[in-house]
Amino acid sequence: MRRPAMRGPKRGSTRAPAREAARPPAPVAGSLPAAAAALLLMGSGWVSYPIREARALAYGQGLNAAHGGLGRAVNSGTAPDALIAMDDAGLGPYLARRRNLDMLGLNDRHIARLPGRFTYKVDVPYVLSRSPDLIVLVSSVAEPTRAEHLPLPAHAALTADSSFHARYEFLRVYTMRPDYHLGVFRRRDSRAVPTDF
C-alpha cells in the first residue's frame, strides 16, 4: 500500500516548508458605521457612569444612615420582644432583629389582601390593634406636622387618627436625604422601648 505524498521538505532537508501568503480579511460592509455607533453608545455610558455611581453611593450612604441607624438603635436600645411597624421593611428591621409589622403588606397577610393597589392599602385600626412599640413613618420633612408631609397614604391615615396621637409620641428622626426622613413614634405605655430611647 502506498502512502500519499507529503508536502514539505524531504527527509534530511533543512528547508522549512513553504507557507501560503496570508490574505487580509475581506472588508465587512458597513463595519465603519457600526464601529462608530458602538463607540457612541459606549461613550455615553462612560460619560454618565460617574453620575450614576455618585447617586448609587449617596443612596447607600443615606440608607445606612437612616435605616441602618434606626435598626442599630432598636437592636441596642429595646427589648427583644419589641414590635416595630414600618414600611421599607428591609435594612432597619434586619439590623434591629425585632418583629416587624410591614404596613405595606409585603410581609403581612392581612394588609396584603386588602383591596387597592400597592402603598394604598390602609387599615389603621388593624395596625393600632397590633400595638406596635414603635411606628416608623416616612416623611418629606424632618418634623412632619401635616398629612401632606407624609407621602404614603397609610402614614397620612395613621396621623389623621386621634387614637394614634393619644397612644404614640414622636421621639426622633433619621434622615436619608433632604426629602426623605424616618419619623419614629413610641407607644406611650411600651415596656419594650424605654422612654429615653
- Is 111 within the bounds of a domain? yes
- Give the residue numbers spanning the domain of 115: 42-187
- Confirm whether 35 is domain-assigned: no
Question: Is residue 5 situated within a structural domain?
Answer: no
* 108-139 confidence digits (pLDDT tens): 899 999 998 888 888 999 999 999 999 999 99
How many structural domains is the chain composed of? Answer: 1
Q: Work out whether strand 83-86 and strand 134-139 pair parallel, antiparallel, or are unpaired.
A: parallel
Does a structural domain hold residue 192? no
Rounded Cα distance between 44 and 75, Å, is: 44
Asked whether residue 107 is domain-assigned, the answer is yes
Supply the pTM of this predicted model: 0.75
Residue of 95 and 152 predicted with greater confidence:
95
Which pLDDT band, with edges at 50, 70 and 90, does 173 fall under?
very high
Q: Is the pLDDT of residue 13 over 60?
A: no
- The residue with greater pLDDT, 181 or 43, is 181
What's the average model confidence in pLDDT over 24-49?
71
Question: Own/partner pairs for 68-73, CB < 8 Å, 24+ apart?
Answer: 68/92, 68/95, 69/174, 70/95, 70/96, 70/136, 70/174, 70/182, 70/184, 71/95, 71/96, 72/96, 73/197
In a domain, 7, yes or no: no
Is 3 part of any domain? Answer: no
